[in-house]
Amino acid sequence: MKKVGGRLLALTAVIVASVVFFLPSYPPLYNELPRWLRAVLPDKGITLGLDLQGGIHLVLEVEEDRAVEIAVDRAVVAVQDLLLEKKIPAESVKRAGSSQIAISFQNPDLRSQVQKLLDDFPTYVEVETSGTANSVGWTMREAEIKRIKDSAINQALETIRNRIDQFGVAEPLIQRQGQKQIVVQLPGIKDPKMAKDLIKQTALLEFKMLDEEAQMKVELPGRILKGKDREDALLKQVESKVPEGDQILFERVTQKDGMQEYLIPYLVKKRVMLAGDVLSDARVSIGQFNEPYVSVTFDAKGAREFDRITGDNVKKRMAIVLDNTIYSAPVIQERITGGRAQITGTFSMEEANNLAIVLRAGALPAPLKIIQDLTVGPSLGRDSIEKGVRATLIAGILVVLFMAIYYRLSGVIADFALILNLVCLIGALAALNATLTLPGIAGIILTIGMGVDSNVLIFERIREELRQGKTVRLAVDSGYDKALLTIVDSHVTTLITGFALFLFGTGPIKGFAVTLCLGIAINLFTALVGTKVIFDVINQRRKVEQLSI
Amino acid sequence: MFEILGKTNIDFMGKWRIAFAFSGVMVLLGIIALVQIARGAANMGIDFAGGTAVQLKFEKPIHIDEARRALESNGLAHAELQEFSQENKLLVRIKAATTIEEKTAEQVMAVFRKEFPDNKFVVESSTEIGPTIGQKLQSDALIAILISFAGIVLYIAARFELRFGVAAALATFHDVLAVLGAFYILDKEITLLVVTALLTLAGYSLTDTVVVFDRIRENLRMRRREPEGTIMNTAINQVLSRTIVTSLTVVIVLIPLVLGGGEVLHDFSLALLWGVIFGTYSSVFVATPLITLWPGGPSRLLKRG
């Protein structure tokens, strides 16, 4: 028989370490500790998963094709400008498909002039247009498409991070997943809808001019009731009358009583006069009727542009468009030189706040699609913890009782190992700063059940040895020896499944796998070291004639 | 000594025909379930199939039929409802076909707000999963299952011999299929958590099988002259009480979890509970006879020692 002193010491050290690591996970106690002690102790313990503390988990997909389309649309405008500048009378310039530009003209002689324009657009190449003499097609280079898609996701990631930072969430997780997905985890969020809107809003701010001359001819109704189908119906009805280069956008208005929402259609020139990328700041202000609005400040370049645009268009109406919705369409009374503008509309204080945040953080390069959305309210989490803890306690008590009755004193020793098991498992989880999820709690409970398994194997073996008439000391030693192989084999097989779960599981499943694997490893330790030490101590004190097993 | 079983001498090996008939039926059910899953005809959870689940907690009791009618009259006809009546909770599930852009979760909430204005509710959880995520999960789950099985067969084959490894793997498949079949028959939803439970029970059932195999290996080395069937029968009888006790402790733990662990963990722990019971049965009645059915010459282990 080996010396027990060293093993007893190791056992104590493990228990102390577990408690030390666990302490930060239990703030009521941790915060009571004197400061010098807290300085020594680890400061982070187990974090509760979203399913236990509530919050949202989103997987977003960047619509990268849209990012390419947006870039091509911008190039279309640039081509139009260039044609005007060079006085080439082209008929139309359009985006074709997602990455092509089609330029058509009446007079085939213009062809070579148009083709020369390509020199100014190095990211495009000409495509062979079969047979048609009065049109030219360009397509974006593959490398450029790839670059735009790549930068779209990185920019989206950055923008979301900025917005969430400003929104203020404790311990958010924002990371890229795979080629075009972004995972956002916001624990403990009170208003999930608002947070989702904040993340998802493209926040593309544009200033566009109203096409007041053509407005009459299109015969737009004064206002329509809100509704996607009504919107579509109207668009379809007037489609043929809308001049090229114009579009219809809606302003949302709510009646004074706040019950009925209307849409006011406007005919707007597609050309973007100024966009949100020239903003340097956006703040919420309160107007004279106590209504919140957002005032934006342009950077130097933006201010110069805004100055020029307003100067050129005095007495005309300019639409302030955010994500294709008109917020207001004021008449420009005079040249605006200060580099400031106001976005008014019917929004609450919170909405105005969010708008300011998204404008400051910048627009998303392309729309985002939510492909996974898990929202857990705080009440369910509390409920789950309560139930989980209760089930754990009941399960624990039942097992402890069963072992004590079935194996008497030895059962009590196994119960000690079980508690040791739990303490170590929780300590290990805390040391790893693991996230505890609901399946994780199930994993802990399962560990209780399996924790005594090894001891059962050992005890049954010891009983067998005793039956063969061996002395207690010999029976205990050979019982442990013979059970060892079985225990190792059976644990390794479970470990293999746990490992596979860890590698391929996501979120909660991973949490379960971690608890399971840790539980098994700790189990081995407590069964082979923990209980053996106690038996050895008993055997060392006096010669035991009979073992209570 | 307090013992559930004294010394037993039951002829387990002799009953293999009855056991195999029973197991055959269970495995067949499991295979049907698998085929249905592959065809997309099984009751898959929204985490695999994609869709929306909203769990609401109302202030006052809500009648499930009224709730269904309210949803139907507002164009949400395919909703599946489940109530946890003592707590006025209602779980609304709408599978696939919808994309998240339609904001199904918000539609559901709006319906209840409109139709039951004087019964306020809080949203306990809402889950919306796009179909692409579901497919990814399915393939991930499949890979996890394949890897763990390959790992287990290899490990056991290395520690024992190939026929033990194959028998253990088959017995484990049997347990997983049996539980899957039972879930299918009871029309229970196959969620990610249930799949996790299936994998866990695979691990557990193996533990159980290994305990029996271990004793067989030991006995094969010691009593080389006896016929294999007798050796195995003795081994099972020797380890019977520990097999039962170890399973019993896990069963003791799982029962409170099934009864009071909350709605999220209910099916998970139920799958584990059945798994443990099947696992115990299979290590005795399925895994061991399978070893003897393996064709081939005398065992490598028999010559050893």
pLDDT digit string, tens, across residues A413-426:
889 888 888 899 99
pLDDT at A1 over 60: no
Helix (H, G, I), strand (E, B) or coil at A392: helix
> Which residues in chain A have their CB less than 8 angstroms from residue B133's CB?
59, 371-372
Count contacts between A and B (CB, < 8 Å).
223
Exposure letters A407-443 (e unless 16+ CB within 10 A, then b): beebbebbbbbbbbbbbbbbbbbbbeebbbbbbbbbb
Closest residue to A438, CB basis, from B130, B245, B264? B264
CATH of the domain at A78: 3.30.70
> Which residues in chain A have their CB less than 8 angstroms from residue B55's CB?
380
Residues of B numbered 207-246 whose beta carbons fall under 8 angstroms of chain A's beta carbons: which are they?
207-208, 210-211, 214-215, 218, 238-239, 241-242, 245-246
**Phi and psi, residue A231, nearest 5°:** -60, -50
User: Which residues are within 8 A (CB) of A152 and not within 5 positions of it... i.e. 6 or more apart?
Assistant: A62, A64, A67, A365, A366
Residue A172, domain member (yes or no): no
Q: How many residues appear in chain B?
A: 305
Where in chain B do CATH 1.20.1640.10 domains reside? 13-43+133-303
The reply to whether residue A500 touches residue B211, judged by beta carbons under 8 angstroms, is no
pLDDT at B183 over 90: yes
Closest residue to A500, CB basis, from B127, B144, B218? B144
User: Taking a C-beta distance cutoff of 8 angstroms, is the pair A99, A67 a contact?
Assistant: no
Is any Cβ of chain A less than 8 angstroms from the Cβ of B102?
Answer: no
Region A353-374: mean pLDDT is 86
The pLDDT of residue B304 is 47
> Which residues in chain B have their CB less than 8 angstroms from residue A408's CB?
2
Region B171-192: mean pLDDT is 90
Q: How far is CA B73 from CA A226, A229, B58, in A?
A: 22, 20, 20
CATH of the domain at A315: 3.30.1360
The alpha carbon of residue A257 and the mean position of all alpha carbons in its chain are separated, in whole angstroms, by 37
Residues of B numbered 137-176 whose beta carbons fall under 8 angstroms of chain A's beta carbons: which are they?
137, 140-141, 143-145, 147-148, 151-152, 155-156, 159
Distance from CA of A234 to the nearest CA of B (A): 22
- Chain B interface, best mutation among A401, A406, A489, by max B CB count within 10 A: A489
Distance from CA of A365 to the nearest CA of B (A): 19
Across A14-23, A335-344, B195-204, least confident range? B195-204
The reply to whether residue A493 touches residue B269, judged by beta carbons under 8 angstroms, is no
Q: How far is CA B219 from CA A313, B168, B287, in A?
A: 99, 18, 17
**Phi and psi, residue B43, nearest 5°:** -80, 80
Cα–Cα dist A292/A345, whole Å: 8
- Rounded mean pLDDT of chain A? 85
Strands A325-328 and A246-254: parallel
Residue A528 DSSP label = I
The pLDDT of residue A319 is 92
pLDDT at A452 over 90: no
> Which residues in chain A have their CB less than 8 angstroms from residue B214's CB?
485-486, 489-490
Count CB atoms within 10 A of the CB of residue A298: 22
User: Which residues are within 8 A (CB) of A310 and not within 5 positions of it... i.e. 6 or more apart?
Assistant: A318, A332, A334, A335, A336
Distance from CA of B297 to the nearest CA of A (A): 26
Of the pLDDT bands very low, low, confident and very high (cuts 50, 70, 90), residue B303 is very low
- Rounded mean pLDDT of chain B? 83
Task: Name the residue of chain A whose CA is nearest to B89's CA.
Answer: A380
Residue A363, domain member (yes or no): no
The alpha carbon of residue B39 and the mean position of all alpha carbons in its chain are separated, in whole angstroms, by 20
User: Taking a C-beta distance cutoff of 8 angstroms, is the pair A411, A404 a contact?
Assistant: yes
**Phi and psi, residue B50, nearest 5°:** 85, 150
In this structure, are A333 and A394 located in the same domain?
no
The pLDDT of residue A506 is 67
The pLDDT of residue B45 is 81
Distance from CA of A487 to the nearest CA of B (A): 8
The pLDDT of residue B305 is 39
The reply to whether residue B214 touches residue A489, judged by beta carbons under 8 angstroms, is yes
Give the model confidence (pLDDT) of A213-258 as tens digits: 887 677 788 888 887 788 888 888 888 888 877 889 999 887 766 6
Cα–Cα dist A175/A183, whole Å: 5
Distance from CA of A491 to the nearest CA of B (A): 7
Helices (H) and strands (E) in chain B, counts: 11, 4
Is any Cβ of chain A less than 8 angstroms from the Cβ of B135?
Answer: no
Residue with tokens 């919420």: A284
Is any Cβ of chain A less than 8 angstroms from the Cβ of B126?
Answer: yes
- Closest by CA position to B240, among listed B6, B17, B1: B6
Give the model confidence (pLDDT) of A144-182 as tens digits: 999 999 889 998 999 999 888 888 787 788 988 888 899
The reply to whether residue B144 touches residue A453, judged by beta carbons under 8 angstroms, is no
Give the model confidence (pLDDT) of A70-104 as tens digits: 889 888 888 888 888 888 888 888 888 889 998 88
Q: What pTM does this model have?
A: 0.75
**A457 vs A450: which has the higher pLDDT:** A457
In this structure, are A248 and A135 located in the same domain?
no
pLDDT at A333 over 80: yes
Residue A364, domain member (yes or no): no
The pLDDT of residue B1 is 61
pLDDT at B98 over 70: no
- Chain A interface, best mutation among B103, B133, B207, by max A CB count within 10 A: B207
In this structure, are A82 and A128 located in the same domain?
yes
The sign one gets for the Cα dihedral A63, A64, A69, A73 is: positive
Across A204-213, A253-262, A386-395, least confident range? A253-262
pLDDT at A275 over 60: yes
In this structure, are A474 and A523 located in the same domain?
yes
Of the pLDDT bands very low, low, confident and very high (cuts 50, 70, 90), residue A6 is confident
pLDDT at B210 over 70: yes
The reply to whether residue A375 touches residue B256, judged by beta carbons under 8 angstroms, is no
Residue A92 DSSP label = E
In this structure, are A395 and A519 located in the same domain?
yes
> Which residues in chain A have their CB less than 8 angstroms from residue B46's CB?
none
Q: Which long-range contacts (CB under 8 A, 24 or more apart) does A193-199 make?
A: A193/B106, A194/A350, A194/A354, A195/A56, A195/A167, A195/A169, A196/A56, A196/A58, A196/A370, A196/A373, A197/A354, A198/A163, A198/A164, A198/A167, A198/A354, A198/A357, A198/A358, A199/A58, A199/A60, A199/A160, A199/A163, A199/A164, A199/A368
The reply to whether residue B265 touches residue A388, judged by beta carbons under 8 angstroms, is yes
Residue A157, domain member (yes or no): no
- Closest by CA position to B207, among listed B237, B241, B172, B233: B172
- Chain B interface, best mutation among A421, A504, A517, A549, by max B CB count within 10 A: A504
User: Taking a C-beta distance cutoff of 8 angstroms, is the pair B60, B117 a contact?
Assistant: no
The reply to whether residue A504 touches residue B101, judged by beta carbons under 8 angstroms, is no
In this structure, are A442 and A483 located in the same domain?
yes
User: Taking a C-beta distance cutoff of 8 angstroms, is the pair A127, A139 a contact?
Assistant: yes
CATH for B51-128 is 3.30.70.3400
Give the model confidence (pLDDT) of B111-150 as tens digits: 888 888 888 888 888 888 877 777 777 788 788 878 888 8
Q: How far is CA B132 from CA A420, A483, A489, in A?
A: 44, 48, 39
In this structure, are A96 and A43 located in the same domain?
no
Task: Name the residue of chain B whose CA is nearest to A418's CA.
Answer: B249
Of the pLDDT bands very low, low, confident and very high (cuts 50, 70, 90), residue B301 is low
Closest residue to B261, CB basis, from A387, A407, A452? A387
Find residue B127's DSSP bridge partners: A374, B53
The pLDDT of residue A259 is 67
The pLDDT of residue B102 is 61
Distance from CA of B68 to the nearest CA of A (A): 23
Region B55-73: mean pLDDT is 86
Of the pLDDT bands very low, low, confident and very high (cuts 50, 70, 90), residue A131 is low
CATH of the domain at A401: 1.20.1640.10
Task: Name the residue of chain B whose CA is nearest to A200's CA.
Answer: B101
Q: How many residues appear in chain A?
A: 549
Region A471-491: mean pLDDT is 87
Distance from CA of B217 to the nearest CA of A (A): 11
Give the model confidence (pLDDT) of B100-110 as tens digits: 456 788 888 88
The reply to whether residue A406 touches residue B262, judged by beta carbons under 8 angstroms, is no
In this structure, are A301 and A436 located in the same domain?
no
The reply to whether residue B262 touches residue A452, judged by beta carbons under 8 angstroms, is no
The reply to whether residue B196 touches residue A500, judged by beta carbons under 8 angstroms, is no
Of the pLDDT bands very low, low, confident and very high (cuts 50, 70, 90), residue B22 is very high
**A199 vs A441: which has the higher pLDDT:** A199
Its domain, for residue A329, covers: 206-342
Closest residue to B207, CB basis, from A376, A379, A490? A490
In this structure, are A405 and A475 located in the same domain?
yes
- Chain A interface, best mutation among B136, B143, B149, B253, by max A CB count within 10 A: B253
Cα–Cα dist B71/A358, whole Å: 35
Region B58-65: mean pLDDT is 86
Distance from CA of B302 to the nearest CA of A (A): 19
Q: Which of A144, A174, A195 is the last residue of a domain?
A: A144
The pLDDT of residue A144 is 92
Share of chain A above pLDDT 70, in %: 97
The pLDDT of residue B300 is 55
Closest residue to A370, CB basis, from B100, B122, B196? B100
The pLDDT of residue A401 is 93
CATH topology of domain B13-43+133-303: Multidrug efflux transporter AcrB transmembrane fold (1.20.1640)
Distance from CA of B142 to the nearest CA of A (A): 9
Distance from CA of B1 to the nearest CA of A (A): 6
Exposure letters A516-542 (e unless 16+ CB within 10 A, then b): bbbbbebbbbbbbbbbbbbbbebbeee
The reply to whether residue A504 touches residue B140, judged by beta carbons under 8 angstroms, is yes
Number of domains in chain A: 3
User: Taking a C-beta distance cutoff of 8 angstroms, is the pair B119, B59 a contact?
Assistant: yes
Give the model confidence (pLDDT) of A100-122 as tens digits: 998 888 888 888 888 888 888 88
Closest residue to B196, CB basis, from A369, A486, A501? A501
Distance from CA of A393 to the nearest CA of B (A): 9
Closest residue to A383, CB basis, from B123, B262, B268? B262
The pLDDT of residue B277 is 93
Region B151-156: mean pLDDT is 84
pLDDT at B218 over 70: yes
